[in-house]
Each structure stands twice: as C-alpha cells, then as structure tokens.
C-alpha cells in the first residue's frame, strides 16, 4: 500500500511537471506570436507575414567554395625588385622563383542570403599596419558577379581598387536580395615592399550590413 502511494505521488508530480513544461512552451510561443501570424480564417483565407531578414554570407574565398580564408603561403620579393604584387585575380608578380607565393584565383564571393536589400561596408587593417615597409598597398575592389547586385556608394567604382581601412568604408548603398542579383566578388591586392618585415601575416576582413 505504501508503494502504491509512493507511485501515485510520483505520477502526480510528473503530471504537474509536464503541465508546467507545456505552459512554458506555450508562453514562449506567445512571446513571439507577433512574428508568427499565419493562420487560416473560416473562409479559408490565409494570412502570412514574411519577416524581414537581413543577412549576407561569404560563400567562397580563393576560388574554394565554402572557404572564408585566402592564404598565399610563404614567399619572398624577387631579388632586384622593389616590391611584389599579389592579387586574388591570379596575379603573383616579382616573387622570388625559389620562395614564391601561391597563385590565388578568386576573391571573396559575397551573397545576400536574406530577403531585404542591405547596405554593405568593409573594414580591415590598413597597409602600413598589415604589411609595413616602404609604400605597401592593401586594397580591394568589388565587382558585380551577378549584374546589378551592388549599387555602389558615391566614390566607389566597380572593379577599381581602393585601400582597406580600419574605419568601416561604405561600399554598397544597396546590395540586392533578388536571387538574380545577389552576388558580388571582392578581389584583394597586396603590394609587398622588399623591406617589409618578414614574418607571418594574418588579418581579418569584416563585412557589416544593415537593411537598406
């Protein structure tokens, strides 16, 4: 009899806990009810609210789908040259034949994967702080992979290199979410002076965006 009472008590407690669980779930859904407005009326009509979702993604880097890293590896400026040029369009100029950097074919491919147009800004480190030496360059350009994807900000010209900056640089006043016009390519160029300090370099390019 005692064991029956114990079992009954456990069962009652478990039901109470489950009821509390259902209550919490219901409360959580109610909190977000303003996002979830699709319902069917008696007449059979359906109302659906599509949530604005601003989102972009780097889908490829260095010609490698799914990657977000471009790595030229080790290399040296050729003897007698003032600088070497590396770019993600396959350019490797004035590199030492013995210690040559990798050839990179493809920059950062950036796609608007949301459902609203967004602005796009680019931030990184400047050339002096990244590479050093005499007259280094650390630049990028943006090209519409799908025509009309990026409406360029004033002063930004498609496929024309500009310097990276540690201050966010607005690039696209509108980056389209239309699947036919939602992809751009960012090529990167480095000019490495022969007097640049040797060592491993590693930096980050940050994309910021907000609904246009």
Partner 1 sequence: MIIISLLIIAIVLSTVSIALNITFEKLIHPYAVLDTKPQGNLMLEIIENPENIGGNLNELR
The residues binding partner 1 (CB under 8 A) are: 4, 7-8, 11-12, 14-15, 18-19, 21-22, 25-26, 28-29, 32, 35-36, 53, 55-58, 61, 68-81, 86, 96, 99, 101, 108, 110, 113-114, 124, 131, 186, 188, 190, 192, 194-208
Q: Is-contact 64 175, C-beta < 8 A?
A: no
Residue whose CB is less far from partner 1, 99 or 157: 99
CA neighbor of 207 nearest in space, from 54, 53, 51, 52: 54
Residue whose CB is less far from partner 1, 43 or 80: 80
The DSSP H or E segment spanning 56 is strand 56-61
- Residue 204 sits at φ, ψ, to 5 deg, of -120, 135
Residue whose CB is less far from partner 1, 154 or 199: 199
Residue pointed to by tokens 């491919």: 109
Q: Is-contact 171 120, C-beta < 8 A?
A: yes
CB of 76 to partner 1, least distance (A): 4
Q: Is-contact 194 81, C-beta < 8 A?
A: yes
CB of 173 to partner 1, least distance (A): 19
Judged by DSSP in three states, 77 sits in strand
CB of 141 to partner 1, least distance (A): 14
Residue whose CB is less far from partner 1, 146 or 194: 194
Which residues, at least 6 apart from 155, have a Cβ–Cβ distance to it below 8 Å? none
CB of 3 to partner 1, least distance (A): 11
Query: What distance in Å separates the CA atoms of residue 200 and residue 24, rounded to the nearest whole number?
Result: 52
Residue whose CB is less far from partner 1, 116 or 154: 116
CB of 36 to partner 1, least distance (A): 6
């Amino acid at each position: 009899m005692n064991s029956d009472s114990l079992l009954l008590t456990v069962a009652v407690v478990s039901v109470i806990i489950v009821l509390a669980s259902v209550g919490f779930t219901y409360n959580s859904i109610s909190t977000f009810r303003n996002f979830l407005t699709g319902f069917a009326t008696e007449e059979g009509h359906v109302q659906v609210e599509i949530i604005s979702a601003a989102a972009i993604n780097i889908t490829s880097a260095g010609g490698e789908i799914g990657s977000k890293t471009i790595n030229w590896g080790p290399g040296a400026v050729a003897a007698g040259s003032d600088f070497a040029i590396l770019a993600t369009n396959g350019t490797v100029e004035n590199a030492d034949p013995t210690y040559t950097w990798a050839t990179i074919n493809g920059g950062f491919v950036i796609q608007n994967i949301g459902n609203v147009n967004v602005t796009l800004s680019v931030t990184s480190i400047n050339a002096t702080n990244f590479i050093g030496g005499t007259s280094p360059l650390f630049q990028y350009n943006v090209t519409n992979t799908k025509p009309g994807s990026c409406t360029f900000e004033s002063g930004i010209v498609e496929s024309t290199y500009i310097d990276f900056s540690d201050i966010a640089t607005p690039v696209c006043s509108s980056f389209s979410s239309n699947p036919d016009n939602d992809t751009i390519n960012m090529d990167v160029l480095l000019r490495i002076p022969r007097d640049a300090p040797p060592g491993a370099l590693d930096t980050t390019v940050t994309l910021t965006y907000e609904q246009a």
